[in-house]
Amino acid sequence: MKQIITIILLALSTATFAQSLTGKLIDKADGTPLVGANIYWQNSTTGTFTDNDGVFDIPFVAERNQLIVSYIGYENDTLTIADGQNNLLFEMGQDKGSTFSEVVISTQRADTYTTNDATKIEVITEGELAKAACCDLSGCFETQASVRPVTTNVVTDAKELRILGLSGVYNQLLFDGLPMIQGLGYTYGVSSYPGTLVNKIFVAKGANSVLQGFEGMSGQINVIPKQPQDGQDWLLNAFVNSNGIHQLNANYAYTAPQGWSSFTSAHISRPGFRRDWNDDNFLDFPLVERQAIYHKIQTKSVTEGLFSEVALRYWHETRTGGEKNFVRKDHRGSSEVYGQDIAISQPEISTKTGYIFSDKQQVKFIGAAFFHQQNSYYGITPYTGLQQFAYANLQFEQKYGEASEHDIKAGLSYRHSTIKETIDERALQQQNRIPGFFIENISNYKKFKLITGVRWDVHQEFGGFMTSRFGFNYNVAENTELRFSAGTGWRVANVYAENPSLLASSREVIFEEELEPEQSANFGFNVVHKEFWTDWVGTFTADYYHTNFSNQIFPDYDRTPGQAILANFTGQSASNTFQVEGNMKYLDQYEFKLAYNFLNVFREIDGEKVALPFNSKHRLLATFSYEPISTKWHFDTNIQLNGRQRLPDTNGYPERYQQDQFSRLYTLVNAQFTYKFGADIDLYGGCENIFNFRQPDPILAADDPFGQFFDTAFNWGPTVGRELYLGVRYRL
């Protein structure tokens, strides 16, 4: 049945309908797409933005033929559209300070916006990232409602990014379109990318493209790094906070006279002080020392011919947490003083190489590989992990139709991963060899857009799996889009890397059976309405997503005290999520956001719905930003209200270790002030957790860390209190 439905959807997407005005915006100098440009009909409220490929689609407006095109840092322009004209390719030149015969005044786009693709994609820009400290990728979502960073091991501050209230392993996390954060690197990989390396982040909830793989069961996060053509030759960033953590980041972009270009980013993070504000004898945050370097080289952008880019990255870090008098060189693996010590190194290489035959046809090869090595101690338990990963994707792209309104992509992929883990002399090995085939079609019609995709992958042990995805975007009214998406997904779990608390606690890990791949289906609806007034730009969204698992692997902490039981769960396991959000920007000076999330994530056990632990059913986010007309400074603040979370059952524990059934409701308030010295230097400072809220006892049985009840999986709120910080950015 799945195959029949997919074939029908692919066939529907190639039907012929009347066209709206479509086109593409590129940089006049190097041909790169311009993302997020503001496009609207003159003297009307009908407008849109270019998507992540620089493509736009805007409904025709009767008696209007003047199209306004505006992009920050580029010369504004007005296009006269002739009858029958469509599929525009428009080049924009950077603003050199010249005088125009016609001045076009337009409202700038917000620092976060939604593209007009078939599936809902939220774009977080560099401007939005500058509103908070954003030291690393895990800190880039403080002002966002769709993604929630969660700490999974409080001792070492391991983090994951959750979408739809589900574990971060269910969203596909990509770096520059490549699956580089997975396997053993998943636990700490999110924190390994400095915020200064990030240019944009694309967030898609629910079903999305099949091009990058069969995962993405709850959504996809694609982190786009800065590029040589972004207009900054140098960026230096220094940061220090009141807990003594300090970082130094440097970016350098170079374009050779021959046309090729390169980009280099270096990152150093040094550990802070030994803090124990709650007097539980454990450090409130680990001592982290990290070095990372990233380098990309690419050929000159072309509209025809060969193109290529190659990127190299190396990441090394150590994390030390535990009792406050734990010293790594003296107590590592010791039973005298409890500590967790982790050492990681990971070299990487990736490439995107292809040939453009014309503006309608190209072929490209995408490849990546990394080697991950981890050497750790969790108390007296030694852990070593080695992973070799390789990924290859060969795809052909063809645009067709009278106005190239259809875009089909098809190809072959191969994924290879070998993971070897040793836990206290117990050796575990997992190997995944997964060849696959995929095809995806995108169609742009006058009133709606359609994306349909299917892929077939074969695992050497578990056999073949079909993954199908469908997205539909309909313009129900002027500036109002209604979307529907549906799809399936699957993945092979890596239990210890994805659940670090299993190693960090004294729980006995019980495997009741051989674990099968996790599988799920997802569907969702969302509506986006945009308003363009003289002084205001507003975006209002509402969405609902349902995810249902046919098999799910989640450690069961409730059944037996002191145990974590792992088994295939084939009963009812689902996530229902609802989100409403409003964004308003006034006079390019004031920006407001208000968002509410409702999460209902549960399993049905013996006919009763049981909420999964550590999920806030209710969450509220409010942000406010102000920048005066002079643009010399700006102020940004955000407020996060987090509802109660169900905690694992501790009724069988000694009375002094028993926890409440639910956590407390809590609120976090953050603020930042940025002052600009000319066009090159920004001085920024702020305070996180202004009202100093801390979870009282995040570690269970902290007074007996080598005992049977010690557990680091009970943290539901912040363990670091009020934190002041100061930083400086220098651009050239």
DSSP assignment of 352-409: EEEEEEETTEEEEEEEEEEEEEEEEEETTEEEEEEEEEEEEEEEEEEEESTTS-EEEE
User: Which residue from 223, 192, 203 is spatially nearest to 145, judged by alpha carbons?
Assistant: 203
> In which residue are the tokens 């690419």 written?
298
pLDDT of residue 30: 66
CA distances from 717 to 155, 245, 355 (A): 13, 21, 50
Token couple for 60: 């025709």
CB 148 within 8 A of CB 167: no
- Strands in 206-245 per DSSP E: 219-225, 234-241
Token couple for 671: 């603020």
Round to whole Å and give the CA distance between 125 and 106: 19
> Average pLDDT of each block of 10 consecutive residues along the chain (732 residues)?
41 43 77 79 72 77 73 70 67 50 42 85 90 89 92 91 93 94 91 94 93 92 88 88 96 90 96 93 95 94 90 97 93 93 97 93 96 95 96 95 88 97 92 97 89 97 96 90 96 91 87 94 94 84 96 88 90 95 89 96 90 93 93 94 92 89 95 92 96 92 92 89 95 86
User: Which residue from 725, 660, 666, 653 is spatially nearest to 695, judged by alpha carbons?
Assistant: 666
Q: Which DSSP state fits 655?
A: G
> In which residue are the tokens 């270790």 written?
657
Beta strand 246-255 with 261-270: parallel, antiparallel or unpaired? Answer: antiparallel
Phi, psi for residue 56 in degrees, rounded to 5: -130, 160
Query: What is the maximal distance between C-alpha atoms in the chain?
Result: 82
Angle CA(514)–CA(519)–CA(520) in degrees, nearest 5?
A: 150
User: Which residue from 657, 670, 503 is spatially nearest to 133, judged by alpha carbons?
Assistant: 670
pLDDT of residue 56: 82
CB 492 within 8 A of CB 459: yes
pLDDT of residue 415: 97
Beta strand 21-27 with 88-92: parallel, antiparallel or unpaired? Answer: parallel
pLDDT of residue 3: 44
What percent of the chain is helix, strand and coil (3-state, nearest 5)?
Answer: 5, 55, 40
- Count of other CB atoms within 10 angstroms of residue 164: 27
The helices-and-strands tally (H runs, E runs) of the chain is: 6, 39
CA distances from 455 to 174, 388, 548 (A): 18, 24, 20
Round to whole Å and give the CA distance between 226 and 263: 8
Round to whole Å and give the CA distance between 441 and 148: 31
Token couple for 725: 């910080």
User: Is the sign of the CA dihedral 439, 444, 447, 449 positive or negative?
Assistant: positive
Give the DSSP H/E element, type plus range, for residue 480: strand 480-491
Q: Is 11 exposed, middle or buried (0-12, 13-18, 19+ CB in 10 A)?
A: exposed
**SS3 at position 456:** strand
Round to whole Å and give the CA distance between 578 and 488: 20
Round to whole Å and give the CA distance between 371 and 313: 11
Ranges of H-type helices in 415-556: 495-498, 501-504
Amino acid found at 326: F
- What domains are there in the chain, each with its CATH number? 21-109 (2.60.40.1120), 113-731 (2.40.170.20)
> In which residue are the tokens 């982790």 written?
342
Round to whole Å and give the CA distance between 118 and 120: 7
Round to whole Å and give the CA distance between 656 and 692: 26
CA distances from 202 to 206, 299, 377 (A): 13, 25, 36
Beta bridge partners of 548: 521, 574
pTM confidence score: 0.86
pLDDT of residue 106: 39
CA distances from 252 to 9, 230, 280, 301 (A): 46, 11, 44, 19
Beta strand 77-80 with 21-27: parallel, antiparallel or unpaired? Answer: unpaired
pLDDT of residue 101: 31
